[in-house]
Structure 1
Amino acid sequence: MSVPTTGERGEPTLSVRNLKTHFFTKEGVVKAVDGISFDVAPGEVLGLVGESGSGKSITGFSILGLVDQPGRIVDGEILFQGRDLVHLPEEEQRKLRGSKIAMIFQDPMMTLNPVLRVDTQMTEAVLAHRDVSKEQALDIAREALVRVGIAAPDERLASYPHQFSGGMRQRVAIAIAFLNEPDLIIADEPTTALDVTIQGQILYEAQNLCRDTGTALIWITHDLAVVAGLADQISVMYAGKIVEQGSVDRVLDQPAHPYTSGLIGSVPGRNQRGERLFQIPGMTPSLLNLPDGCAFRSRCPHADIACEEEPSEQRTDDGRLVRCVRPLAGRPRDGEAA
C-alpha cells in the first residue's frame, strides 16, 4: 500500500514500506502482517487501530526487531531516519532501542525487572545511552516519574516493582520510555490498565513530548476515543492489512471502509437508552485460513459478488487510502439508521 501525501508533514521519522511479517507454524503460514505501509513524521501521532489479532502489536514488534521464532520479516522496508532496520545488525538495533526508539508494552512486567529496585532500572536505562553522572541520571529518573503523575518519587525510586499496583507499574514503564527523549515511541495499548484521570494525564504528556521534542509516536489501541483525542493520522488494520488510512478527523467523521464504519458504530454511547448496542457480526477470520477476496466480506453488510476478488487500494477525493471494492460514500455509518 502506498502512503497518502500529507503536504506539510516533512521528512518522516519512520517509513514502513510493504512490511510482511509471517509466522511459520506446523499448521501453516500465519500472515500476521501482510504488506502494510505508512509514514510517521516528527512530532506526529499515528493511531494504529483494529480488533485483537489484526496485526497491530506484531507491527510494533517488527519495527523494533523483537519478533521471535517461528516469526520473521519476509519482505519490506522499515526506514528509521533513512536507515533500514530490517537489515541492521543486531548490535546496532540494540543501540537504537531505548535511546532513539522506545516501546511501551501493554504488560509493564515486560519492561520491569522484578528483582531490581526502580531507581536501578531507570538510572541504568539513562547511563546506557547518555554521558551523564549517576546523580544526573537519578535526577532524570525522578523528573520522569513526576511527569507521569507518580507522587513521592524518591520513595518510589527506592521500591521494587512488586510494591506497586498494576497501574503504577505501567506508569513507571511509560516513564522509562520517556527517559531519553527518543525520536520514536511505539506504545502498545499502554493506558488500558490506568484509570481515566491518569490516562488523560499520560495522553497529555505524550502530546507535549511530541510537540516539544519532535518525537514521533505510534499509538496502538482498540480505543477509538483515545485515538480521536490524541492522533493526527490513523491506520485501521484488519487481518494483517491496513484497510483505511488518512487524517484522524476525516476517517472518524466519514469512514470509507465498512470495517472502520463498524468499529465506530460499536463505540458505546452512540445508542439511545434501552437500545441494543451495535456490534460487527461474526468473528475475525483465522489468519491460517483467510477467505478468497476481501477478508472482511463475510462480516460486511455491503458485500456482494465483486468482493470475492482481492480489493486493491483506492484513493478517496480527500486523499485517504482505502482497501475496498466499493468504498462507502454518503451511506449511513454501520449501527446508524439510514
Structure 2
Amino acid sequence: MSTVEPAVATPTLEVRNLQTSFFLRSGLARAVDGVSFTVGRGKVMGLVGESGSGKSITGFSIIGLVDPPGRVHGGEILFNGRDLTKLSETEMRRLRGNRIAMILQDPMMTLNPVLRIDTQMIETVQAHDRVSKSDARSRARDALGMVGIPSPEERLSSYPHQFSGGMRQRVAIAIAMLHRPDLIIADEPTTALDVTIQSQILAEVQKLAREFGTAVIWITHDLSVVAGLADDVAVMYAGRIVESGTVDDVLDRPRHPYTRGLIGSIPSRITQGERRLHQIPGMAPSLLALPKGCAFRARCPRAAAVCETPPEISVPAPGRTLRCFRPYDVELVS
C-alpha cells in the first residue's frame, strides 16, 4: 500500500543568493552579497546588523525599489513561488502596496502632508481594487481601528500633521495592511518612537501577522526589539548574512563573534557592578574596500590566519546557518 507524502507549503518568501550592487565610478559596492533566507506564512523574521550592513537594501531589493546606479544582478526572490526578479515594472506595481507592502522609518515618506488621511487611504484601496468610494472608506476606517487609533471615523478627516509621531506610524501601518498583504517589509519603523508607543506598535504588528497570515521582515539594529517580536533572526554584516536561526537559538546561543558582540553591547544584558558594557572595536568596512577573507576579521577577537580566506555558509544544525571558521561553542551566560 503506497503512502501519500504530505504537501509542503510554499513559503511566502524565499530569497536565494541575492546579489545587489552599486556600480559607481569609484568601484563596485556589493551591498547585498549572496543573501539567502526564507519567511513562512504568519512568521516574523528579524534582519539585524549595524548601519551599512545591507539590511535596508535587501528590503528594497525584494520590493523592487533599488535605484540606479544600484541594481539586483543575481539570485532569486521567490514570492509565493514566483520569481520577482523576472517580473516587469508593470507587474511589480501590481504587487506593491497590494500583495507586498513596505513600512518606512519616517511615516511622512508614506503620507502626503497636504492630503487628508481618508483621501490617501481611499486612493490606496482603489488603486488595486474596483470598489466604491464608500466601501474604500469603510476599509480605511476599519484599518485605522485595527492598529489601535481611537475614533477612527473622525480621524479619517484629519491631516498627517494633526497626528503624533506614533499615531502617524500607526496610520502608515494601517495603509500597509489595507489589502491584507502576504508580505510586509518594515524598515526600522519604530526607531524614532518612545518605548511605550514602540511596544504597542510591535504588539499590533505581531497580532496582524498571526491573524492574517502575513509574513513580516522586520529590519532593525535593535536586538531587544527582535527578541520580543520575531520568530527567526538573520544577522547581516558587510552585505552578508553571518548567522541565522530561530530567535531563541541565536540570541541565547550566539556562535558568530559579531552576533555575540552585538548582544554584548545591549545594556539590558549587563548586571550592574559585574562588568563594563562591551563594544565591538573599530568600524564596519567600506563596501568599496572590503578586507581580504572574512569582512569581520579586523574587528574579531577570534581572528586567525584561516580567516584570511572567505568563509562559506554552513548549516551546523537544522534551521541554523553560520559563516565563520572559528565560532563560539558555549552558551551565552545571562
SS state of the match for residue 269, structure 2?
Answer: coil
Opposite residue 240 of structure 2, the aligned amino acid is K
**Displacement of 1:332:** 5.5
* Percent of aligned pairs sharing the same letter: 67
1:22 aligns with 2:25: no
1:58 CA drift (Å):
0.4
Taking a change above 3 Å as real, the CA distance of residues 9 and 324 of structure 1, as seen in their structure-2 partners, is farther
Provide the C-alpha distance between the structure 1 equivalents of 2:224 and 2:315, rounded to a whole number of angstroms.
25
| In 1, Cα distance between equivalents of 2:124 and 2:319 | 41
Is the alpha carbon distance of 1:14 and 1:319 closer, same or farther for their aligned partners in structure 2, counting shifts above 3 Å?
Answer: closer
- Report the Cα distance in structure 2 between the residues aligned to 1:224 and 1:8, rounded to whole angstroms: 35
Q: What is the distance in 2 between the residues matched to 1:256 and 1:272?
A: 22
1:316 aligns with 2:316: yes
CA-based RMSD of the aligned residues comes to 1.8
Hey, what's the Cα distance between the residues in 1 that align with 2:94 and 2:82?
13
- What is residue 34 of structure 1 aligned with on the other side? 33
Is the Cα–Cα contact under 8 Å of residues 48 and 219 in structure 1 kept in the other structure?
Answer: yes
- Cα pair 1:48 1:218 within 8 Å, conserved: yes
CA contact (8 A) 1:149 1:198 kept: no
Aligned counterparts of 1:33 and 1:41: Cα–Cα separation in 2: 21
Report the Cα offset of residue 152 of structure 1: 2.9
User: Where does residue 285 of structure 1 map in the other structure?
Assistant: 285
**Correspondence list, 1:1-338, <5 A:** 10-273=9-272, 275-330=275-330
C-alpha displacement of 1:133: 2.0
Tell me the CA shift for residue 8 of structure 1.
11
Q: Return the TM-score normalized by structure 1.
A: 0.92
Q: Distance in 2 between matches of 1:331 and 1:16?
A: 29
Deviation at 1:97, TM superposition (A): 0.6
Whether contact under 8 Å (2:111, 2:160) holds in the other structure is yes
- Whole-Å Cα distance in 2 between the matches of residues 228 and 272 of structure 1? 19
Query: Amino acid of the residue matched to residue 102 of structure 1?
Result: A
4+ residue runs of structure 1 moved beyond 6 angstroms? none
Q: State the Cα distance separating 1:319 from its structure 2 match.
A: 4.1
Q: Deviations over 1:33-56 (max 9, x none)?
A: 011011111111111111110000
Tell me the distance in 2 between the aligned counterparts of 1:13 and 1:120.
Answer: 31
CA contact (8 A) 1:119 1:141 kept: yes
Distance 2:137 2:131 in 1: 10
| Deviation of the 1:270 alpha carbon | 1.9
C-alpha distance in 2 between matches for 1:65 and 1:23: 14
Counterparts of 1:9 and 1:222, CA distance in 2:
33
Q: Is the 8 A contact 1:174 1:190 kept in 2?
A: no
Q: TM-score, normalised by structure 2?
A: 0.93
Instruction: Classify the secondary structure of the residue corresponding to 2:91.
Output: helix
User: Quick one: distance in 1 between partners of 2:259 and 2:18?
Assistant: 21
Q: Any conservation in 1 of the 2:252–2:331 contact (CA below 8 Å)? A: no
Counterparts of 2:168 and 2:292 in 1: how far apart (Å)?
Answer: 44
Shift of 1:210: 1.7
> Mean Cα displacement is larger for which, 105-114 or 92-101?
105-114
Q: What is the CA–CA distance in structure 2 between the aligned matches of 1:132 and 1:301, rounded to whole Å?
A: 59
Deviation at 1:318, TM superposition (A): 5.0
SS at match of 2:209: helix
The secondary structure found in structure 2 opposite 1:272 is: coil
**Alpha-carbon offset, residue 295 of structure 1:** 0.3
Of 175-184 and 263-272, more deviation after overlay is shown by 263-272
d(CA) in 2 for partners of 1:49 and 1:8? 32
- Unpaired runs of 5+ residues, structure 1, are 1-6
Q: Distance in 1 between matches of 2:131 and 2:319?
A: 46
Contact map agreement 1:148 1:201 (CA 8 A) in 2: no
Question: For 2:90, what is the secondary structure of its paired residue?
Answer: helix
Deviation at 1:207, TM superposition (A): 1.7
For residues 8 and 244 of structure 1, what CA distance do their matches in structure 2 show? 29
Q: Distance in 1 between matches of 2:73 and 2:192?
A: 34
Map of 2:3 onto structure 1: none
Range with bigger deviation, 140-149 or 11-20: 140-149
Shift of 1:198: 2.4
Aligned length: 328
Residue aligned with 1:316, SS? strand
Output the CA distance in 2 between the equivalents of 1:22 and 1:318: 30
- Cα deviation, 1:102-158, whole Å, max 9, x if unaligned, reads 000111122111221111001111122223321121121112222222223233211
Contact 2:233 2:244 in 1 (8 A): yes
Counterpart of 1:280, as a letter, is I
Please name the residue that 1:3 is paired with: none
Change (3 A) 1:9 1:199: farther
Shift of 1:164: 2.6
Partner secondary structure for residue 95 of structure 1: helix
